[in-house]
Amino acid sequence: MPKVDATSPADEAPAKTVQVLLPLLVPSPYDYAVPQENDVEVGSIVRVPLGARLVTGVVWGEGSGEVASERLRAIAEIKDVPPLKESLRAFIGWVARYTVSHESLVLRMILRVPEAFDPPVPLRALRLAGDAPERMTPARRRVLDLMADGMARPAREIALVASVASSVPKGLIAAGCLEEVVLPHRPSFAVPDPTVARPDLSSEQQAAAETLGQAVAAKTFETLVLEGVTGSGKTEVYFDALARVLEQGRQVLVLLPEIALSVQFLARFEERFGVAPAVWHSDVPRRLRRDVWRGVATGEVKVVVGARSALFLPFCDLGLMVVDEEHDGSYKQDDGVCYHGRDMAVVRASLEQIPIVLCSATPSLETLANVDKGRYRHIFLPVRHGGASMPDVTTVDMTGAGTERGHWLSPTLVKAMQACLEAGEQSLLYLNRRGYAPLTLCRTCGHRLECPNCSAWLVEHRHRARLQCHHCGIWSPRPEACPQCHDSDSLVACGPGVERLAEEVAERFPDARMEIMASDTLLGPDDVAALVGRIERGELDILIGTQVAAKGHHFPMLTLVGVVDADLGLDGGDPRAMERTWQLLHQVAGRAGREDRPGRVLLQTHEPRHPVMRALVSGDRETFLAREKEGRQEAGMPPYGRLAGIVLSGTNEEQVRRLAHDLARNAPRGRDLVTFGPAPAPLSLLRGRFRWRLLVKAGREVNIQAALRTWLEPVQLKGSLRLQIDVDPLSFL
Ligand code: ADP
Ligand code: ZN
Ligand code: ZN
């Protein structure tokens, strides 16, 4: 701070200066002068000049005094929204330090909805006024019919709904038949009511709910792990805790994976609390996002159900966080600021001094290791609600199972499906592969159809008649002839996707009602809701689904789950391959027999003796986890060691390779610290960029972030070169 000259008159005192953090890649906050008539506090959201433009930023502290105050530019505008709270500012710093990123880039995730900083614009609308016009036309008739209910509607909407030109409503205003009104913008977020439909909890559920309730009442930081078999009522239990927070008048954040597909969850919430929660994910329309952001900041919004990005909302009085399906990999963001939503949620809860509940039927080893260390409190729900039994899981050995060429269903599975059909029950065929076939090959020359931008095969999507890259989205029609040897009719589809499986099902069960459920066959929440409705009403016999069908759904009539390829996902060098496969298959299996009809699960596998299959069949979670933990411990892998992935990429392969080797020469090495690589990434080309990888591995006691900063901060990246740091990577592609 520049010293105040004691002799200068008060009204000429040097302007107050503050640092403003900007959501741009700049090294540190900049100093700005605060105009005399204004007052700002740390956390205020402001507009400041930067070069020739205005940028929105956040007051970060007192001015550094490095620039003479008379040369400073002044804050242009102070936004009329609550300043970012200290706990949120501390969170920004924490995330930046942990992920070896920049505060400015974390701030960018918070300021992502710029419309939220301005008062909402009033909506202009038209309403019926006066009598019929002198001159009536069919178009005018349609408009007046529409408006006869007396409702006010925006002119654009009137034109659209009545299918008339925009001049028609205007003409009706001139004729005095419609009048202009200004509608106050009133986002209505009704407050969820904790008493609407309180269920009778079983004694186990009640005990779990009491433990959560105590944590809520204590209003301090604690991490609770709510583990329970699928269908044990975990959701009901944390709803109970949520109700208690609502009684305190505080806010709740529930994080869900795949929130865009969680229609059943939202319906359940509404049944329990009388109103829908505010929803937050990237597909929510901007206007609504603006309202949610403001409502969260002012306290009007009480419950947000969101994707990982909801972690960066400016809650004014958060009382509880829940991370449902905490083991789910979609909580990890692996570009930009690479953070794990679950882990950062725990950090935020500690900064807010509130309890957090991590919920799963198959908690991650990371979470279980924290339970073992006594850092997290563990609550366990051992049985399904209402006496439903756990499904009976068996394997079908596919070596010599008698499956016909070009077919994927074993006779055992087909027989079980037949029995299910005859009993009027539903079955789910699970295959985590979208499209028709993962590979198209030329029979004549062996050429494989690959993406020109990525080192990946093109996946055939037959119902859309195209070949598509699942990494960059590029697509083309299926060629008639081989692009390499030009032989015609030589291309063959290899391997199954859900579409191809549907073909086999149609052939075997021509009368069964069947549908595919995959992220690319569902166009949005309405589509999901419609499909879920058809399944619930029993209008479907066989559901063929990818991961989106595995998660969270509760279908009473579903009694058979057939996992078409249980080995998928066990290959490759991923240290979590076994854990992840076990979690996913356990989750899918948990869809079967959730009510009074017992469920059955068939796992088609080439390795029935594999530890994952054995654990699923026996239901012996302890042995499996103990083995997994031991293996990781011996290898010094997470959660018993630390990893950081470094991905270098660029459009010039030679430059990327050279940078990778240069970096490797100064790579951190030391006690309990090694760097592997460089090596071309398994996905060595992605969206036209060549990729190389390094992997840093360290003991738990090592400050891996400090080592990464010392090593990588001085690196100057030229041209197209990029460097991505991923602390605690989940993906090694
Ligand atoms: P989980 O989240 O553990 O898979 P859910 O909370 O989804 O379990 O519960 C499974 C089903 O049982 C749901 O349909 C839920 O409404 C019902 N259920 C669970 N507990 C109760 C209860 N105490 N009273 C009534 N229904 C319950
Ligand atoms: Zn060919
Ligand atoms: Zn591609």
Fold classification of 16-111 is GIY-YIG endonuclease (3.40.1440)
Identical fold at 203-386 and 390-433+496-629? yes
| pLDDT at 507 exceeding the cut of 90 | yes
CA–CA separation, 19 vs 581, rounded Å?
48
Task: State if residue 232 touches ligand 1 by the CB under 6 angstroms criterion.
Answer: yes
Closest CA to ligand 1's atom 15: 233
The pLDDT of residue 123 is 77
The pLDDT of residue 661 is 96
Task: State if residue 235 touches ligand 1 by the CB under 6 angstroms criterion.
Answer: yes
Maximum mean pLDDT: which of 119-123, 157-161, 399-403, 707-711:
707-711
Chain-wide mean pLDDT for the chain? Answer: 91
> Identity (one letter) of the amino acid at 690?
F
CB-based contacts of 267, cutoff 8 Å, min separation 6: none
CA–CA separation, 230 vs 555, rounded Å?
12
Give the model confidence (pLDDT) of 192-229 as tens digits.
Answer: 999 998 999 999 999 999 999 999 999 999 999 999 98
Domain 641-727 has what CATH class?
alpha beta
Give the model confidence (pLDDT) of 313-355 as tens digits.
Answer: 999 999 999 999 999 999 999 889 999 999 999 999 999 999 9
Write down the CATH number for the domain with range 203-386.
3.40.50.300
Mean pLDDT of 123-131: 83
Give the model confidence (pLDDT) of 607-622 as tens digits.
Answer: 999 999 999 999 888 9
Domain spans of the chain, in order of start: 16-111, 124-183, 203-386, 390-433+496-629, 641-727
| pLDDT at 3 exceeding the cut of 60 | no
Task: State if residue 384 touches ligand 1 by the CB under 6 angstroms criterion.
Answer: no
Task: State if residue 360 touches ligand 1 by the CB under 6 angstroms criterion.
Answer: no
Cα-to-centroid distance, 484 and ligand 2 (Å) = 5
Give the model confidence (pLDDT) of 437-462 as tens digits.
Answer: 999 999 999 999 999 999 999 999 99
- Indicate the pLDDT class of residue 528, thresholds 50, 70 and 90: confident
| pLDDT at 380 exceeding the cut of 90 | yes
Task: State if residue 553 touches ligand 1 by the CB under 6 angstroms criterion.
Answer: no
CA–CA separation, 322 vs 324, rounded Å?
6
- Indicate the pLDDT class of residue 529, thresholds 50, 70 and 90: confident
User: Do residues 711 and 693 touch, judged by C-beta distance below 8 A?
Assistant: no
Strand 303-306 and strand 278-280: pairing? parallel
The pLDDT of residue 84 is 97
The pLDDT of residue 9 is 40
Q: 6: buried, middle or exposed (CB in 10 Å: 19+, 13-18, 0-12)?
A: exposed
Task: State if residue 586 touches ligand 1 by the CB under 6 angstroms criterion.
Answer: no
The pLDDT of residue 186 is 64
In this prediction the pTM is: 0.88
Q: At what angle do helices 577-589 and 621-635 cross, to 10 degrees?
A: 160
| pLDDT at 574 exceeding the cut of 60 | yes
Cα-to-centroid distance, 402 and ligand 2 (Å) = 31
The pLDDT of residue 71 is 82
Report residues near ion ligand 2: CB below 5 Å: 442, 444-445, 447, 482, 484-485
Mean pLDDT of 408-436: 95
CATH architecture classification, 390-433+496-629:
3-Layer(aba) Sandwich (3.40)
DSSP character at residue 481 = B
3-state secondary structure of 368: helix
Closest CA to ligand 1's atom 6: 233
- Indicate the pLDDT class of residue 6, thresholds 50, 70 and 90: very low
The pLDDT of residue 288 is 87
Mean pLDDT of 702-724: 95
Task: State if residue 554 touches ligand 1 by the CB under 6 angstroms criterion.
Answer: yes
